[in-house]
Structure 1
Amino acid sequence: MPAMLSAVLEEEADMYEAFPPHVDPTGITILTDSPPGKKAPLKTFEEVQPLLQQSRKRELKLVIRENSWPINSPVRALLWPALCRQHQHGKSMLDGFYWDMVTQVFGTVELPDKPIMLPPFVEATHCLGYHLTRKGRAVADRVVSVLGYACPDITYSPSLYPITAALLHFMPEEECYHCMASLVASKEKMFITQTKLLNEVTWKTVMQIAKKHAKSAAQHLSRLSGAIGPERIYADWQWWILAALPFPHLVRVLDCFFHEGIKVFYRVALAILILFHKHSTNQSSDWYAEATKNGVDHAIDKFCRNMPASPTKLLRTAFSIRALSSQYISRVFIKTEMTLKSKQVITGSRLVRSRSSDNLPTSQSQVNIQMMSHTLTIRELFTLWSWLPVRITMYQPVLLYTTEEHGCSLTTFYVRVEHHEPTLLMIKTCNNEVGIMYTTEEHGCSLTTFYVRVEHHEPTLLMIKTCNNEVGIMYTTEEHGCSLTTFYVRVEHHEPTLLMIKTCNNEVGIMYTTEEHGCSLTTFYVRVEHHEPTLLMIKTYNNEVGIMYTTEEHGYSLTTFYVRVEHHEPTLLMIKTCNNEVGIMYTTEEHGCSLTTFYVRVEHHEPTLLMIKTCNNEVFGAYCSTRWFERNQKDERGNRQAYFGTGETFLFSLYPERAKYPWVGCSNDSKETVAHGSELFMAADSRMITIGGGDGQAIWMDENIRFGKTDRCSTFNNPPLCPSGDFEIRVLEVYGFSGA
Structure 2
Amino acid sequence: LLDEEGGPRFTEWTDLRLLTYPAYPSRIDEIRENRRLSRTIKVKQIVRKANWPARHEVRKELWRELCKDKSYDASITVFNDEMSTQILNEARTRSPSFLSQEGAVVNNFSLTEDGTVRLIRMLAMIEQLRPDISCAPIMYPLCALFMHYMDDQDAYACAQYLSRRGQERDPPVHLLMTRTQWEATPHVLLQLIKKHKPNAYALLKKKCGTSDDEILVETMVDWKQWIFQYLPLSHIVRIVDCFLVEGHKFLLRAAVANVYMWSKVNKSKSGPAEGRTEAERVAATKHELSQCAAQCQVSTETFIEMAVLIKNLKSATIARLQTTFEKKVRESNQRDKGRKQSSNVYCFTAPFESCILSNVIATKIMSRFPSRLQLVTPELLFKLSQDGASFTHLWSKVDEADQTLIIIRTARGEVFGAYCSSSWAERNDRRERTKSKYFGTGESFVFKVTGRDEYQKVEIFGWVGNNNNEPGEHVPQMFMTAGDRLIVIGSGDGDAIRISEELTSGISSRCSTFNSPPLVEDRGFEINEMEVFGVASGM
TM superposition score category, shorter chain reference = 0.5 to 0.7
Q: Tell me the equivalent position of 1:159.
A: 138
Report how many aligned residue pairs link the two structures.
Answer: 320
User: Gaps spanning 5+ residues in structure 2: where?
Assistant: 272-279, 341-539
- Picking from 183, 202, 224, the partner of 1:238 is 224
- Picking from 302, 308, 311, the partner of 2:291 is 302
- Picking from 12, 37, 50, the partner of 1:21 is 12
Give the distance between the partners of 1:174 and 1:281, measured in 2 at CA: 47
Pair 1:79-2:62 in alignment: yes
Contact 2:44 2:246 in 1 (8 A): yes
| Cα distance, 1:316–1:347 mapped onto 2, change above 3 Å | same
The CA RMSD measured in Å over matched residues stands at 3.2
Q: Tell me the equivalent position of 1:332.
A: 321
Pair 1:119-2:96 in alignment: yes
Contact 2:96 2:124 in 1 (8 A): yes
* Paired AA for residue 160 in structure 2: A
Pair 1:265-2:232 in alignment: no
| Cα distance, 1:345–1:296 mapped onto 2, change above 3 Å | closer
Aligned partner of residue 25 in structure 1, secondary structure: coil
Contact 1:102 1:109 in 2 (8 A): no
Measure how far apart 1:50 and its partner are.
Answer: 0.5
| Cα distance, 1:43–1:246 mapped onto 2, change above 3 Å | same
Pair 1:275-2:256 in alignment: no
* Paired AA for residue 58 in structure 1: I
Measure how far apart 1:314 and its partner are.
Answer: 0.6
Measure how far apart 1:226 and its partner are.
Answer: 4.6
Measure how far apart 1:255 and its partner are.
Answer: 0.2
Measure how far apart 1:184 and its partner are.
Answer: 1.1
Q: Tell me the equivalent position of 1:139.
A: 118
Q: Tell me the equivalent position of 2:428.
A: none
Q: Tell me the equivalent position of 1:322.
A: 311
Give the distance between the partners of 2:86 and 2:195, measured in 1 at CA: 47
Give the distance between the partners of 1:208 and 1:339, measured in 2 at CA: 14
* Paired AA for residue 333 in structure 1: Q
Give the distance between the partners of 1:329 and 1:150, measured in 2 at CA: 29
* Paired AA for residue 12 in structure 1: E
Contact 2:118 2:152 in 1 (8 A): yes
Give the distance between the partners of 2:263 and 2:76, measured in 1 at CA: 50
Measure how far apart 1:333 and its partner are.
Answer: 1.3
Give the distance between the partners of 1:236 and 1:220, measured in 2 at CA: 18
* Paired AA for residue 307 in structure 2: A
Give the distance between the partners of 2:112 and 2:209, measured in 1 at CA: 41
| Cα distance, 1:292–1:350 mapped onto 2, change above 3 Å | closer
| Cα distance, 1:117–1:282 mapped onto 2, change above 3 Å | same
Measure how far apart 1:223 and its partner are.
Answer: 2.5
| Cα distance, 1:346–1:292 mapped onto 2, change above 3 Å | closer
Give the distance between the partners of 2:157 and 2:282, measured in 1 at CA: 45
Give the distance between the partners of 1:242 and 1:293, measured in 2 at CA: 22
Aligned partner of residue 163 in structure 1, secondary structure: helix
Measure how far apart 1:294 and its partner are.
Answer: 7.8
Give the distance between the partners of 1:293 and 1:92, measured in 2 at CA: 47
| Cα distance, 1:332–1:12 mapped onto 2, change above 3 Å | same
* Paired AA for residue 15 in structure 2: D
Deviates more, 1:175-184 or 1:222-231: 222-231
Q: Which has the larger radius of gyration?
A: 1
- Picking from 93, 97, 108, the partner of 2:78 is 97
Tell which has more relative contact order, 1 or 2 (C-alpha 8 A, sep 6+).
2
Measure how far apart 1:104 and its partner are.
Answer: 3.4
Q: How does 1:309-388 map to 2 (within 5 A)?
A: 309-344=298-333
Give the distance between the partners of 1:217 and 1:173, measured in 2 at CA: 41
Give the distance between the partners of 1:185 and 1:241, measured in 2 at CA: 22
Measure how far apart 1:139 and its partner are.
Answer: 1.3
Q: How does 1:314-713 map to 2 (within 5 A)?
A: 314-344=303-333
Contact 1:31 1:71 in 2 (8 A): no
Compute the TM-score of the two structures, normalised by the length of structure 2: 0.54
Identity in percent:
24
Pair 1:173-2:156 in alignment: no
Contact 1:25 1:131 in 2 (8 A): no
Measure how far apart 1:235 and its partner are.
Answer: 1.0
Give the distance between the partners of 2:158 and 2:62, measured in 1 at CA: 11
Measure how far apart 1:193 and its partner are.
Answer: 2.0
Contact 1:156 1:196 in 2 (8 A): yes
Q: Tell me the equivalent position of 1:601.
A: none
Aligned partner of residue 276 in structure 1, secondary structure: helix
Give the distance between the partners of 2:130 and 2:338, measured in 1 at CA: 24
Contact 2:9 2:15 in 1 (8 A): no
Give the distance between the partners of 1:31 and 1:197, measured in 2 at CA: 43
Give the distance between the partners of 2:219 and 2:58, measured in 1 at CA: 36
CA deviation string 1:471-509 (max 9, x = no partner): xxxxxxxxxxxxxxxxxxxxxxxxxxxxxxxxxxxxxxx
Measure how far apart 1:336 and its partner are.
Answer: 1.8
- Picking from 171, 185, 189, the partner of 1:206 is 189
Aligned partner of residue 177 in structure 2, secondary structure: coil
Runs of 4+ in 1 over 4 A off after TM superposition: 105-110, 291-294, 342-351
When you count helix as a share of all residues, which structure comes out higher?
A: 2
Give the distance between the partners of 1:109 and 1:44, measured in 2 at CA: 43
Measure how far apart 1:156 and its partner are.
Answer: 1.9
* Paired AA for residue 99 in structure 1: N
Pair 1:12-2:1 in alignment: no
Measure how far apart 1:96 and its partner are.
Answer: 3.6
Give the distance between the partners of 1:350 and 1:84, measured in 2 at CA: 44
CA deviation string 1:192-231 (max 9, x = no partner): 2222101111121111111111111122123223589322
Contact 2:174 2:248 in 1 (8 A): yes
Give the distance between the partners of 1:292 and 1:225, measured in 2 at CA: 5
CA deviation string 1:552-588 (max 9, x = no partner): xxxxxxxxxxxxxxxxxxxxxxxxxxxxxxxxxxxxx
Contact 2:218 2:282 in 1 (8 A): no
